[in-house]
């Protein structure tokens, strides 16, 4: 006899977002650098910012930091980097 | 006569958070009118999703919003007969909601343990925003109180249900298939609508409807009466203070430790004595496993993807203890959290696996606690001070020695706080080491004449509870994950 199971998995509908188009070049673009506030993130991103400006000719760099690495970025932080063409995030120690 | 006007936006999370409380106010015969700053279609959808039981008027040109000088949504206005504002309350705040209910002679409508935060700031009112061409954003369905029924899966005769469930739903162990009959048995044991959303489980925020909780509880091996515990447990796990989003996704060892207190221990068979951390009782094992399955299947933190723990934690199969209140000469753990002794409770602590402390030779409270303090020194990483917490689970034999010497629970915390430190000599040399570069923030103390940095920021960073069997002079130290408002805070919910 066939058996009927109640689906125990997440069935909450999701809104699918289209990924941003891949950048062909960094030149003239604005890049956001997001530090999640882990130790060493700023050192890494300082170097990335230097390379972006010197070697790749970006138009601008937005630097932002999450108040804690242990929680999602608050809306205020997201809002500040929303205008960027791409985001580079420094994730770990 | 007073009345309430609430200015809302349908896509503001705080407005969605406050909506069920406005329903409660309206249900207590208080005149409530909401002013929606959004178009008719999304306002109607909001009212349907949130099961709104008060009138909503639209404010398309922000006439009312401007008259009331709204800055934040939601803002509640209590107006008198002459339409004068008697009280203005922006954002969400349980204390303020209860004070407003009291203005109308009503009992408190917002309890501390309903899963919602005590307060939450609102959003900026839309009439203050720049006008954009694309109109308003669609309503996000993040706070509606009723979800949909779970789908059903028909297995053919050729499919082994145990193998199917193991493959699709499990925690790498076989589970009991959540058949319609078994799930219905669970649902009959709790007087709730199967589609009621108890919480949204981080990090993927799957809706934990009563039915979904029941299906996972069946798989974990819970008896139907365990729904009494699972409903407040899921609320506690999704409480913003606990921060399940971080606990479930971190590279660290943390797992949610469930602590059960009060009469429910006896009523449902939760065990608090020997082997309390392991495989001794169906109530402990199945409740711990049910939470883990809910976190996996509804929260989405699977161990091969979003759960990034470098080494994991055996507690991610099941991590549930009851306090041994009978061997505890002090107040039980849930009384520390503000509940009465007779109130059953469930607490959650983000904890590493237990680290055993053996002390069979010390004959005094100070001797036992000194030994424990050395284990506490190694929490997180021995040179890192002031950022982390610990849970000390005292075994009954140690408790008897400590209590015999006249120590209360606060004395235990203070002694451990004053006697746990890292010698300054450990910070010598240029070799980098975790915790060394923060030493400028540490407090220097002397322990037995040796200059040390104090390990913990305050005595309450050390939680004390009693569990385990009466034979063997053992205790355990459980290290925390990231703590406080920036990490995970322990939560206690009444059952």
Q: How far is A84 from chain B (nearest CA, A)?
A: 19
Using an 8 Å Cβ cutoff, are B349 and B256 in contact?
Answer: yes
Between A75 and A35, the higher pLDDT residue: A35
* Inter-chain CB proximity A70 and B482 less than 8 Å: yes
* Inter-chain CB proximity A92 and B251 less than 8 Å: yes
Distance CA B179, CA A1 (A): 13
Q: How far is B3 from chain A (nearest CA, A)?
A: 33
B151 phi-psi bin (left φ>0, alpha ψ -120 to 50, beta other) = beta
**From the list A5, A71, A72, which residue is nearest B155 (CB)?**
A5
- Look at residue B137 in the predicted model and tell me its pLDDT: 40
Between A93 and B452, the higher pLDDT residue: B452
Distance CA B206, CA B393 (A): 33
Choice among B15-29, B384-398, B449-463 with the minimum mean pLDDT: B15-29
Q: How far is A53 from chain B (nearest CA, A)?
A: 30
Q: What mean pLDDT comes out for the span B432-446?
A: 95
- Look at residue B166 in the predicted model and tell me its pLDDT: 92
- Look at residue B482 in the predicted model and tell me its pLDDT: 93
**H or E element, residue B447:** strand B444-447
Residue B211: list chain A partners with CB under 8 A.
6
From residue B411, how far is each of B395, B398, B457, B475 by CA, in Å?
17, 14, 16, 17
Q: How far is A39 from chain B (nearest CA, A)?
A: 10
Q: How far is B236 from chain A (nearest CA, A)?
A: 17
pLDDT-based confidence at B63, cuts 50/70/90? Answer: confident
- pLDDT tens, position by position, B82-111: 888 888 898 999 999 999 999 999 999 998
**From the list A7, A67, A72, which residue is nearest B151 (CB)?**
A7
Instruction: Give domain limits for chain B.
Output: 3-128, 146-352, 354-427+439-479
Residue B216: list chain A partners with CB under 8 A.
8
**H or E element, residue B86:** strand B85-90
Residue A10: list chain B partners with CB under 8 A.
201, 204, 206-207, 212, 297-300
**From the list A6, A13, A39, which residue is nearest B215 (CB)?**
A6
Chain A contact residues (CB < 8 Å to B): 1-13, 39, 67-72, 92
Contacts of B396 (CB under 8 A, 6+ apart): B324, B327, B466, B468, B469, B470
**From the list B152, B207, B437, which residue is nearest A12 (CB)?**
B207
User: Which residue from B313, B304, B306, B269 is spatially nearest to B287, judged by alpha carbons?
Assistant: B269
pTM as predicted: 0.82
- pLDDT tens, position by position, B170-183: 899 999 999 999 99
| Predicted confidence (pLDDT) at residue A91 exceeds the cutoff of 60 | yes
Burial class (CB in 10 A: 0-12, 13-18, 19+), B391: buried
**From the list A11, A71, A92, which residue is nearest B245 (CB)?**
A71
Q: Which of B123, B142, B151 should one mutate to test binding to chain A, selecting the residue with the greatest count of A CBs within 10 A?
A: B151
* Inter-chain CB proximity B153 and A67 less than 8 Å: no
Choice among B33-42, B237-246, B339-348 with the minimum mean pLDDT: B33-42
* Inter-chain CB proximity A72 and B206 less than 8 Å: no
**From the list B150, B179, B246, which residue is nearest A71 (CB)?**
B246
- Look at residue B135 in the predicted model and tell me its pLDDT: 41
Residue A2: list chain B partners with CB under 8 A.
154-157
Instruction: Give domain limits for chain A.
Output: 30-90
Using an 8 Å Cβ cutoff, are B405 and B366 in contact?
Answer: yes
Distance, first Cα to last Cα, chain B: 38
Choice among B107-116, B276-285, B374-383 with the minimum mean pLDDT: B107-116
Backbone phi, psi, residue B374, to 5°: -70, -35
Q: How far is B483 from chain A (nearest CA, A)?
A: 9
Q: What mean pLDDT comes out for the span B478-487?
A: 94
Residue A71: list chain B partners with CB under 8 A.
243, 245-246, 486
Bridge-based pairing state of the strands B119-120 and B123-124: unpaired
* Inter-chain CB proximity A10 and B207 less than 8 Å: yes
- Look at residue B133 in the predicted model and tell me its pLDDT: 37
- pLDDT tens, position by position, B320-334: 999 999 999 999 999
Q: What's CA B478's distance to the chain center, in Å?
A: 18
Backbone phi, psi, residue B487, to 5°: -135, -125
* Inter-chain CB proximity B297 and A9 less than 8 Å: yes
The interface pTM score, or ipTM, of the predicted complex is 0.83
Check residue B424 and report its DSSP letter.
Answer: G
pLDDT-based confidence at B136, cuts 50/70/90? Answer: very low
Q: What is the mean pLDDT of chain B?
A: 93
| Predicted confidence (pLDDT) at residue B62 exceeds the cutoff of 90 | no
Distance CA B53, CA B219 (A): 36
Three-state SS for B77? strand
Residue A5: list chain B partners with CB under 8 A.
152-155, 161, 164-165, 177-180
* Inter-chain CB proximity B156 and A7 less than 8 Å: no
- pLDDT tens, position by position, B162-171: 999 999 998 9
Between B250 and A13, the higher pLDDT residue: B250
Contacts of B427 (CB under 8 A, 6+ apart): B383, B433, B436, B439, B453
Q: How far is B41 from chain A (nearest CA, A)?
A: 19
Q: How many other C-beta atoms can be found within 10 angstroms of the C-beta atom of residue A18? A: 5
**From the list A7, A67, A72, which residue is nearest B150 (CB)?**
A7
Distance CA B165, CA B175 (A): 7
Residue B209: list chain A partners with CB under 8 A.
none
**H or E element, residue B187:** helix B180-188
Q: What mean pLDDT comes out for the span B396-424?
A: 98
* % of chain B surpassing 90 pLDDT: 80
Q: Which of B138, B146, B206, B434 should one mutate to test binding to chain A, selecting the residue with the greatest count of A CBs within 10 A?
A: B206
* Inter-chain CB proximity B206 and A70 less than 8 Å: no
Q: What mean pLDDT comes out for the span B255-266?
A: 98
- Look at residue B349 in the predicted model and tell me its pLDDT: 98
Distance CA B44, CA B148 (A): 18
| Predicted confidence (pLDDT) at residue B80 exceeds the cutoff of 50 | yes
Q: Which of B209, B212, B435, B441 should one mutate to test binding to chain A, selecting the residue with the greatest count of A CBs within 10 A?
A: B212
CB burial readout B130-169, b (16+ within 10 A) else e: eeeeeebeebebebbbebeebeebebeeeeebeebbbeeb
DSSP letters along B336-360, please?
HTT--TTS-EEEEEEE---EEEE-S
Radius of gyration of chain B (CA): 26
Bridge-based pairing state of the strands B450-454 and B421-423: antiparallel
Beta bridge partners of A31: A61, A86
Is the CATH number of domain B3-128 3.90.1150.10?
no
Q: How far is A80 from chain B (nearest CA, A)?
A: 16
Q: How many other C-beta atoms can be found within 10 angstroms of the C-beta atom of residue B395? A: 27
Q: What mean pLDDT comes out for the span B291-301?
A: 96
Three-state SS for B26? helix
**H or E element, residue B373:** helix B365-377
- pLDDT tens, position by position, B465-476: 999 999 999 999
Burial class (CB in 10 A: 0-12, 13-18, 19+), B317: middle
- Look at residue B42 in the predicted model and tell me its pLDDT: 87
| Predicted confidence (pLDDT) at residue B488 exceeds the cutoff of 80 | yes
Distance CA B235, CA B232 (A): 5
Contacts of B246 (CB under 8 A, 6+ apart): A70, A71, B481, B482, B487, B488
Between B141 and B90, the higher pLDDT residue: B90
- pLDDT tens, position by position, A14-68: 766 777 888 999 999 999 999 999 888 899 999 999 999 999 999 999 999 999 9
DSSP letters along chain A, please?
--EEEE--S--------PPPPPPS--TT-EEEEEE-S-TTHHHHHHHHHHHHHHHS--SEEEEEE-S-TTSPPPHHHHHHHTT-SEEEEE---
User: Which residue from B391, B444, B440, B397 is spatially nearest to B416, judged by alpha carbons?
Assistant: B391
User: Which residue from B194, B376, B350 is spatially nearest to B259, judged by alpha carbons?
Assistant: B350
Distance CA A52, CA B19 (A): 47
* % of chain B surpassing 70 pLDDT: 97
Q: What mean pLDDT comes out for the span A68-87?
A: 90
Distance, first Cα to last Cα, chain A: 55
- Look at residue B143 in the predicted model and tell me its pLDDT: 66
| Predicted confidence (pLDDT) at residue B132 exceeds the cutoff of 60 | no
- Look at residue B142 in the predicted model and tell me its pLDDT: 60
- Look at residue B140 in the predicted model and tell me its pLDDT: 42
Q: What mean pLDDT comes out for the span B395-414?
A: 98
């Amino acid at each position: 006899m066939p058996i009927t199971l109640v689906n125990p998995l997440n069935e909450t509908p999701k809104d699918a977002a289209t990924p941003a188009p891949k950048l062909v070049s960094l030149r003239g673009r604005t890049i956001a650098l997001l530090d999640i506030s882990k130790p060493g993130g700023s050192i890494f991103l300082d170097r990335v910012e230097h390379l972006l400006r010197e070697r790749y000719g970006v138009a601008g760099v937005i630097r932002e930091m999450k108040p804690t690495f242990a929680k999602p970025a608050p809306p205020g932080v997201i809002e500040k980097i929303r205008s960027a063409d791409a985001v580079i995030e420094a994730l770990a120690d | 006569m007073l009345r309430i006007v609430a200015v809302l936006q349908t896509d503001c999370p705080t407005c969605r958070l406050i909506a069920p409380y406005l329903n409660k106010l309206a249900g207590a015969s208080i005149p409530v009118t909401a002013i929606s700053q959004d178009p008719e279609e999304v306002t109607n959808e909001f009212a349907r999703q949130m099961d709104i039981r008060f009138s909503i008027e639209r404010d398309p040109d922000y006439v009312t919003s401007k008259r009331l000088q709204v800055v934040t949504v939601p803002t509640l206005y209590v107006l008198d007969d002459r339409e004068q504002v008697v009280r203005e309350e922006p954002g969400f705040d349980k204390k303020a909601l209860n004070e407003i209910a009291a203005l109308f002679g009503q009992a408190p409508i917002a309890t501390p343990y309903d899963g919602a935060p005590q307060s939450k700031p609102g959003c900026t009112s839309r009439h203050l925003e720049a006008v954009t061409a694309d109109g308003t954003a669609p309503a996000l369905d993040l706070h509606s109180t009723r979800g949909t029924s779970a789908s059903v899966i028909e297995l053919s005769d050729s499919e082994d249900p145990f193998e199917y469930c193991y493959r699709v739903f499990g925690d790498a162990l076989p589970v009991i298939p959540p058949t319609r009959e078994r799930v219905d048995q669970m649902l009959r044991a709790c007087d709730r609508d199967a589609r009621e959303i108890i919480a949204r489980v981080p990090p993927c925020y799957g809706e934990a409807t009563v039915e979904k909780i029941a299906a996972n509880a069946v798989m974990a091996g819970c008896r139907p009466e365990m729904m009494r515990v699972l409903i407040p447990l899921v609320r506690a796990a999704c409480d913003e203070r606990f921060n399940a989003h971080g606990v479930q996704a971190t590279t660290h060892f943390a797992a949610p430790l469930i602590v059960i207190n009060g009469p429910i221990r006896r009523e449902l068979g939760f065990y608090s004595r020997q082997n309390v951390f392991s495989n001794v009782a169906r109530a402990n094992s199945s409740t711990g496993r049910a939470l883990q399955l809910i976190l996996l299947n509804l929260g989405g933190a699977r161990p091969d993807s979003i759960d990034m723990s470098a080494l994991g934690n055996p507690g991610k199969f099941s991590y549930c203890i009851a306090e041994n209140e009978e061997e505890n000469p002090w107040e039980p753990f849930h009384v520390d959290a503000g509940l009465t002794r007779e109130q059953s409770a469930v607490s959650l602590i983000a904890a590493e696996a237990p680290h055993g402390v053996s002390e069979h030779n010390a004959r005094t409270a100070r001797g036992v606690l000194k030994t424990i303090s050395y284990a506490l020194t190694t929490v997180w990483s021995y040179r890192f001070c002031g950022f982390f917490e610990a849970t000390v689970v005292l075994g009954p034999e140690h408790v008897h020695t400590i209590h015999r010497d006249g120590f209360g629970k606060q004395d235990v915390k203070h002694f451990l706080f004053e006697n746990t430190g890292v010698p300054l000599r450990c910070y010598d040399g240029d070799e980098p080491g975790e915790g060394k570069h923060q030493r400028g923030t540490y407090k220097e103390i002397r322990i037995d004449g040796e200059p040390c940095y104090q390990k913990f920021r305050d005595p309450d960073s050390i939680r004390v509870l009693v569990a385990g069997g009466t034979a063997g002079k053992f205790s355990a130290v459980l290290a925390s994950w990231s703590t406080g408002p920036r990490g995970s805070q322990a939560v206690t919910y009444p059952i």
